[in-house]
């Protein structure tokens, strides 16, 4: 499997992450307690992936991402943060981090995200027949929404667990992207079958916010019936651009 560097100033968190990753078959090649040490250890081990805490003494996680990505542009980094650190997570994504995990950590979520960033599909391990993409659980099913920076495009994946409260958080997160130029966003409804009109209207408002900042936004869904329903409802800012993939 993969070689992983764990970066966190909490010994308990490092131990928990190591246990989860080792049990999943990965190898932990090192543990760093701050961003400066992480940078040096990355040079030594060149790991396949780094789990990076945000708040650490001396050199924090965002600064460490900058240092590592500057020297190793292809480095794969997953941020580990508290729920109230969303703005810092977005900053780390802008600096090149690939994904994030929200504390308290959940073993299944950690492995899902690590495997996704590494390009590992657990359904293909030891199986001769590949499972179709439609049957592979989406990571967005774990949380109301996930934001990733992939090839300079902020990909927002929504899940059926989306609520009014989580939409407020999503709007705050999108507002934090407004100073990114050029701003490119992919809003993905995944396999969602239905959402209340109130939520759809507010998501349309998010689309308008991106447009107002002269950003480029694409809205997609893997559910053709959902796309047709949204078009029939004539939801402002969604009906005109949503497309099936």
Instruction: List the chain domain ranges.
Output: 1-120, 138-245
Instruction: Report the C-alpha gap between 115 and 2 in whole angstroms.
Output: 9
Q: What would the mean pLDDT of 201-227 be, rounded to a whole number?
A: 94
This prediction has a pTM of 0.58
Say if residue 144's pLDDT is above 60.
Answer: yes
CATH class of residue range 138-245: alpha beta
Q: Which residues of 135-145 are buried (b: 16+ CB within 10 A; e: fewer)?
A: eeebbbebbbb
Question: 40 and 47 in contact (C-beta within 8 Å)?
Answer: no
* Helix locations, the chain, DSSP H: 11-23, 35-45, 61-71, 86-94, 107-118, 164-175, 197-212, 224-233
**Token reading at 5:** 């560097």
Interacting residues of 218 by C-beta distance below 8 A, sequence separation 6+: 185, 186, 187, 241, 243
Other beta carbons within 10 angstroms of residue 228's beta carbon come to 13
Instruction: Report the C-alpha gap between 4 and 2 in whole angstroms.
Output: 6
Strand partners, 99: 78
Q: Could you report the per-residue pLDDT of 45-80, keeping only the tens digit for each?
A: 999 999 999 999 889 999 999 999 999 999 999 999
Question: 187 and 221 in contact (C-beta within 8 Å)?
Answer: no
pLDDT of residue 114: 93
Cis ω for the linkage preceding 104 (within 30 of 0): yes
Q: Could you report the per-residue pLDDT of 162-197, keeping only the tens digit for each?
A: 888 888 878 877 877 777 778 899 999 999 999 999
Q: Check the CA dihedral 81-82-86-88 and report its sign.
A: negative
Q: What would the mean pLDDT of 94-99 be, rounded to a whole number?
A: 92
Say if residue 150's pLDDT is above 60.
Answer: yes
**Neighbour-count burial of 109, counting CB atoms closer than 10 A to its CB (0-12 exposed, 13-18 middle, 19+ buried):** middle
Topology classification of domain 1-120: Rossmann fold (3.40.50)
- Do 1-120 and 138-245 agree at the fold level? no
Instruction: Report the C-alpha gap between 142 and 76 in whole angstroms.
Output: 21
């Amino acid at each position: 499997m993969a070689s992983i560097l764990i970066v966190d100033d909490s010994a308990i968190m490092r131990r928990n992450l190591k246990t989860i990753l080792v049990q999943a078959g990965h190898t932990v090649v090192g543990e760093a307690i701050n961003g400066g040490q992480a940078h040096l250890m990355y040079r030594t081990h060149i790991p396949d992936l780094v789990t990076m805490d945000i708040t650490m003494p001396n050199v924090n996680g965002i600064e460490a991402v900058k240092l590592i990505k500057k020297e190793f542009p292809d480095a794969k980094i997953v941020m580990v943060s508290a729920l109230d650190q969303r703005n810092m997570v977005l900053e780390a994504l802008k600096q090149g981090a690939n994904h994030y995990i929200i504390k308290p950590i959940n073993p299944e979520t950690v492995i899902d995200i690590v495997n996704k960033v590494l390009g590992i599909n657990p359904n293909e391990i030891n199986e001769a027949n590949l499972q179709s993409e439609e049957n592979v659980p989406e990571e967005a099913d774990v949380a109301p929404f996930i934001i990733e920076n992939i090839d300079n495009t902020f990909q927002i994946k929504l899940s059926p667990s989306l609520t009014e409260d989580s939409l407020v958080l999503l709007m705050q997160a999108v507002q934090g992207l407004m100073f990114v130029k050029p701003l490119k966003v992919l809003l993905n409804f995944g396999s969602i079958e239905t959402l209340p009109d109130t939520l759809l209207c507010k998501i349309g408002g998010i689309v308008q916010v991106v447009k107002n900042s002269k950003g480029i936004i694409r809205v997609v869904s893997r559910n053709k019936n959902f796309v047709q329903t949204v078009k029939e409802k004539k939801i402002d800012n969604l009906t005109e651009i949503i497309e099936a993939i």
